[in-house]
Amino acid sequence: MPRFWQPVQNITSFQPLVTEHGRRVFHGEKTGVAACAAKPQSLHVSGLSRILAVMTGTEWWRTAVIYQIYPRSFADSNGDGIGDLRGITNRLAALRSLGIDAIWLSPFFTSPQRDAGYDVADYCDVDPLFGTLDDFDQMQRTAHDLGIRVIVDLVPNHTSSEHPWFQAALAAGPGSQERGRYLFRDGEGGNGELPPNNWESVFGGRAWTQITEADGTPGQWYLHLFDSTQPDLDWENPWVWEQFRGILRFWLDRGVDGFRVDVAHGMIKAEGLPDYTPPAESGSMGGGTATLEPGISADAQSGSDDGDATEAETAPYWAQDGVHDIFRDWRVVVDEYEGERILAAEAWVDPLGKVAKWVRPDEMHQAFNFAYLETPWKADRLRAVIDESIQAFAAVGAPPTWVLSNHDVVRHATRLALTGEHLQGHGIGLDSTGLPDPVVALRRARAATSLMLALPGSSYIYQGEELGLPEVTDLPDSARQDPTWFRTQGQRYGRDGCRVPIPWEAGAPSYGFGPTDASWLPQPPEWAKYARDVEGGAPGSTLELYKLALRLRREHALGLGLLEWVTGYGDDVLAFRNGDVTVIANVGKSPVNVPARALLLASDDFDGSTLFGDTTVWLRS
């Protein structure tokens, strides 16, 4: 496959190079210009030690802003308290006015909803909770008419235990073809009473469940990296491959624009399923702390220059090399279709050089940048991860991606100001340590978003973040639904706090989420001040900030830009130029002086010369 991105060092100018395929490739320079230390107003550009941004091609996904919809919490059309596809259709115009390019829908397939739809019982139908296939088709037509692409969430690591495949496996017995579609194993111990290995579930407790055979005797064990109702498929089985080719084509034939692939780093397990004890500081998906120290996974301890970890340092159920063969196969299927259909990987892998393997030219198009999401609000750490991200993805011809919130992590309007440590997936509640001042947290979140949306590449937005929604920390225990809460006997709060249905109209039942007061998770009274009808058109609101940032991002082609660092503002400031826009983010507490330039955007109060802490501005260069 041709490489359209080529990182280089120490070249003398920003010159376009033309490949043998005629594509223009722009490289960064190392100029050797002295850093501007005395007067930052001069906006001197620092010497660049590596390629900082290279964007080639015109495919929509290279620069897209993609909005994640968590269907059960977005909009409810029938008043049952659970969002649905018709509710999404009714609210798509609001997303068009926001200025996004695509939506990604978390699963809406047939499911017993033990894990909010990530336990799929039929990949080719809509759960009645959300509507029908006709409702999906109408939603997609409306989105396409509005110029919004549609990405669906595919869950290939596991199925629901109620899926016909698994039910057939239970009935067929040991050694059958049906059981070979999942990871059934005989137990250890004298009578098979012990699990096959010591693996722990992402949601807490052991990752194995023993079944009772048809004759009533204790039987084999099956692997479930998540809940016991989510048995893992055996991706060494060609039958599984063939089924998912059909699933891909089913949705591609209906016109979807791509797939977000759940647990894209977990589908292949190490041969022999060896025992493994993860580091104490690792989060549920292999991730580390989501606020203070990124330390994304055990792979981070590798110390190898090329990003590869040894077998002993990599969890035997994450990031095995065999997953790449699966995605090469899927890429062939996706490329059969016109219209630039895409694959996006949820891969909790570190370091970024290893994540980039998921987006090599013959594999996926995008991979979520969890290293960026997990980076603390510190200038040196942010600059390092931005540099590393652009370099790593450029090396394989892929755009960098940026994300701050999703349905699995504490919302960044809370997370970025936490002073206590917490791990991804564990969640927070009222008795968690280090809960932030909400005013400081929102100010920081607005500054962080303004920084992110100015970076070259593609960005993801999670529903409600454009309203400044914080994590809900006071959910009553009786309302919680995340399997993590139950499997850990309340030791971990789980992810319910970021999934509370979002507000649309302050004075309406369920704040406009639906036509009644019903809401599958209780909405807090402070939701009224965040409602879209309150923020819409209100000067200085978070919603209007997002609208402005997305409009300016398009107008100034920032997604296709070239990032040049600007120095001279001190250790707590990030400053860079992207095209004709200069971005300055003060992540510290002390105010700094900035040059007199035409103001394009400010995340908070700004007088034109003094930039206070936790504030980002965009200036015309």
Per-residue tokens: 308: 């590869």
Confidence of residue 283 (pLDDT cuts 50, 70, 90): low
Ranges for all domains in the chain classified under CATH 3.20.20.80 = 60-156+235-268+282-549
Kindly report which listed range (245-259, 288-302, 350-364, 474-488) carries the lowest average pLDDT score.
Answer: 288-302
Mean pLDDT, the chain, rounded, equals 88
- Give mean pLDDT, residues 91-95: 98
CATH superfamily of 16-52+562-620: Golgi alpha-mannosidase II (2.60.40.1180)
Using CA atoms, how far apart are residues 45 and 575, in angstroms rounded to an integer?
Answer: 10
**Residue pLDDT, tens place only, 587-620:** 999 999 999 999 999 999 999 999 999 999 999 9
- Which of 395, 235, 396 minimizes the C-alpha distance to 330? 235
- pLDDT, one tens digit per residue, over 146-205 is 999 999 999 999 999 999 999 999 999 999 999 999 999 999 999 999 999 999 999 999
Closest CA to 363 of 349, 344, 347: 344
10 Å CB burial of residue 173 (0-12, 13-18, 19+) is: middle
Task: Give the confidence band of 44 by pLDDT, cuts at 50, 70, 90.
Answer: very low
CATH superfamily for 164-223 is: Oligo-1,6-glucosidase; Domain 2 (3.90.400.10)
What are 361's two structure tokens?
A: 């030219």
pLDDT above 50 for 34: no
Residues 596 and 609 sit within 8 Å (Cβ to Cβ): yes
Question: What pLDDT is stored for residue 177 in this prediction?
Answer: 98
Q: What digits encode the pLDDT tens for the residues 213-230?
A: 999 999 999 999 999 999
Q: What is the pLDDT of residue 16?
A: 29
Which one of 3.40.50.2000, 3.20.20.80, 3.40.50.450, 1.10.10.10 gives the CATH number of domain 60-156+235-268+282-549?
3.20.20.80
Predicted TM-score (pTM) of this structure: 0.88
The answer to whether residue 576 scores a pLDDT higher than 90 is yes
pLDDT tops 80 at residue 10: no
Choice among 238-252, 309-323, 560-574 with the minimum mean pLDDT: 309-323
Query: 485 Cβ partners below 8 Å, 6+ apart?
Result: 477, 492, 493, 494, 496
Q: Strand, coil or helix: what is 277?
A: coil
Distance between CA atoms of 582 and 612, rounded to whole angstroms? 17
**Residue 49 or 608, more confident:** 608
Q: Read off the tokens for 315.
A: 């969890």
In the chain, list all ranges with CATH 2.60.40.1180. 16-52+562-620
At 1 the pLDDT is: 31
Considering only CA atoms, which of 576, 575, 555, 454 is closest in space to residue 28?
A: 576
Q: How many CA atoms lie within 13 A of 191 on its CB side?
A: 3
Token representation of residue 496:
């319910």
CATH 3.90.400.10 range(s) for the chain read 164-223
Average pLDDT over residues 71-80: 98
Query: What pLDDT does residue 420 have?
Result: 79
Tokens of 460: 């993801």
Mean pLDDT of 516-520: 98
In this predicted structure, what is the pLDDT of residue 421?
78
Tell me the C-alpha distance between 312 and 319, whole Å.
12
pLDDT value for 56: 60
pLDDT at position 520 over 90: yes
User: CA separation (Å) from 196 to 176, 188, 233?
Assistant: 19, 6, 16
Whether pLDDT at 341 is above 60: yes
Residue 194: helix, strand or coil by DSSP?
A: strand
Cβ pair 40, 23 in contact under 8 A: no
pLDDT at 314: 85
Question: With left for phi above 0 and alpha for psi between -120 and 50, is residue 42 left, alpha or beta?
Answer: alpha
Query: Is residue 41 predicted with pLDDT exceeding 90?
Result: no
> Distance (Å, rounded) from C-alpha 202 to C-alpha 196?
17
Closest CA to 181 of 195, 192, 167: 167
Q: What is the pLDDT of residue 286?
A: 54
pLDDT digits over 421-453, tens only?
A: 778 789 999 889 999 999 999 999 999 999 999
Q: Report the Cα 214 to chain-centroid distance in Å.
A: 42
pLDDT at 57: 72
Supply the residues annotated as catalytic.
Answer: 262, 336
Between these two residues, 23 and 151, which has the higher pLDDT value? 151
Q: Does 419 have pLDDT greater than 80? A: yes
Give the CA count within 13 Å in the CB-facing half-sphere of 233. 27
- Burial call 104-136: b when 16+ CB within 10 Å, e when fewer: bbbbbbbbebbbbbbbbbebeebbebbbeeebb
Mean pLDDT score, 128-149: 98
* Look-up of token digits 């007199």: 596
pLDDT tens-digit map of 284-313: 555 443 332 222 343 433 333 344 434 336
